[in-house]
A = this chain, B = another copy of it.
Amino acid sequence: MVFSEMSVCGYMPEDLLDYPYFIEKCEHSLEVVAQSCQGIAAIVGGVIRNPNKGRLLQNVACFMNNGRIEQVIPKTLLPTYDVFTEARYFEPAKESSIIEFQGVKIGIAICEDLWDQYNDFEYTTSPAEQLKALGADIIINPSASPFNLGKQSHRNRVFSGQVNRFKIPVLYVNQVGMHTELLFDGSSKAVNPNGDISIQLPEFEESVAQLEYHHGYFSVENSNLTIGTDNVALLHKALVFGIRDYFQKMGFKKAVLGASGGIDSALVQHLAVEALGAENVLAVLMPSRFSSEGSVSDAVELSKNLGNEHIILPIEDVHSAYEGSLKPIFEGTEVGLAEENLQARSRAVLLMAISNKKGNILLNTSNKSEMAVGYSTLYGDLCGSLSVIGDVYKTQVYALCEHLFSSQGKIPRNIIDKEPSAELRPDQKDSDSLPPYSILDGILRLYIEEKKGHNEIVMEGYDAAVVAKVMRLVNANEYKRYQAPPILRVSTKSFGKGRVMPLVAQYEI
């Protein structure tokens, strides 16, 4: 039986690994599991103290048989880029070794150990090559490989590439679950030497399958291949799973969100109802003097369609009280950002008051395009316990809503079709301050995901002044993202721990 990487503690306990009593627990758990391995062998991922000089810990896979840990295989390649920080904790293995079991030579390559040639850089050692040289018949790859859109085909390239390189089958076993920012999607699979995928387990679902191994090939009865979900459907599945698993693991049950009648909050509300049930979602409508009639009626209709409770709580009284109190300070100044932010922050305080009073957890509804350019109010609409769509560009928000509209029909058409507006001043439109989202998102992708500079982005066909403006906005708003909620990561480069930018910096763009 093969378990995923670090399965006794979950991936990734981060600085809990600095605490000796936590490590003792991890080691103890491995012993407990080993004792139950009677008549069945298991490969179990965990963490142990490094018996030699160097970093204090090792990320290991334990081969368990006959009630005990018979062999310990440490990981060699410690991913330390993007969301990965393994060199912070672990000493790498110095050499590879093979497990012999029932006449089969098993090579264990823990997650990154199989990815020596598939990053922006090439590692100086190849554990899989060493395993092949030691005569491995199969490679087992216990993993904690986070999901992002496109990851499935990336993994398939890696596995088929390695199978082709070494001519031995690969068994990949991945974690399932949401962990702070990361979504682990499972999708475990066995790949045969001819490149065929013998089995692929479902996405975002715990499951178990039994495989046979004969003459260099894996085979399985009732192979259930769930390959080929399209990107929008997969993104939808990922986000619903992320909310549900976050709430479950944190012991939360009920959610609250601000429902503006706009497309972002509509999407988050829809996802929350799917994840938690309509009875556990509370939508709070907080119209201001600048809110259109349509905003309120659209938001009401959405809640009726989804079947969740909603409250209407106008912010006028609070808004005027702030204006009154600040009059001596604001008098004679031009109306601007300070006044607009007052509204967003009034709403946040009301939402947090409801959250504190009723125990509903506040969901953040900002999308990635807004988070990128700072089209959001810190301590206002940037509040929340979890950012559901903070890694979803506005163009993807539209695609998701079209998908939900055509499959479930609960989002009022008007919410999807109306022009986006923050409604913080009369007749405000997003397009007053920002380029069209199709252009904005294109530039953002090149800058954030592809790490291109100004000249390179312009070479892709974008207007130089627009590119400079967008880059400046992204750079100037690092401070807001520094204090933003954790974001469900669904792209190759999400705001959060995978993108660490200095606040103190002077940019030339």
Binding site for B on A (CB under 8 A): 12-16, 18-21, 53-56, 78, 80-81, 85, 87-88, 91, 120-124, 178-180, 246, 249-250, 311, 313-315, 317-318, 320-322, 324-326, 329-330, 333, 337-338, 341-342, 345-346, 348-350, 352-354, 356-358, 378-379, 383, 385, 451, 453-456, 479, 482-486, 497, 499-506
Contacts and interface: CB of A to CB of B under 8 A. Distances in A.
Contacts of A180: 502-504
Of the listed residues A56, A326, A353, the one surrounded by the most CB atoms of chain B closer than 10 A to its CB is A353
Contacts of A484: 483
Contact of A80 (B18, B88, B325): B88
Given A315-B325, A321-B318, A321-B320, A353 B342 contact: yes
Contacts of A482: 485-486
Contact of A54 (B21, B124, B329, B499): B124
A20 B326 CA distance: 47
A73 B120 CA distance: 24
A313 B315 CA distance: 21
Nearest to A383: B379
A326 B338 contact: no
A249 B451 contact: no
A501 B16 contact: yes
B379 A322 contact: no
24 contacts: A14-B502, A15-B499, A15-B500, A15-B501, A16-B502, A20-B451, A56-B120, A85-B500, A87-B87, A179-B502, A180-B503, A180-B504, A314-B325, A315-B325, A317-B325, A322-B353, A329-B353, A341-B356, A342-B349, A345-B352, A345-B353, A346-B349, A379-B383, A483-B483
A83 to B, nearest CB: 11
A113 to B, nearest CB: 16
Contact of A352 (B21, B85, B379): B379
A75 to B, nearest CB: 14
Contacts of A80: 80, 85, 87-88
Q: Top 5 closest A-B pairs, CB basis?
A: A21-B453, A87-B87, A321-B321, A338-B356, A338-B357
B342 A501 contact: no
A53 B116 CA distance: 11
Contacts of A357: 326, 329-330, 333, 338
Contacts of A353: 322, 326, 329-330, 338, 341-342, 345
Contact of A341 (B352, B453, B454): B352
Contact of A122 (B15, B54, B124, B317): B54
Select the residue from A322, A325, A358, A485 with max chain B CB neighbours within 10 A: A325
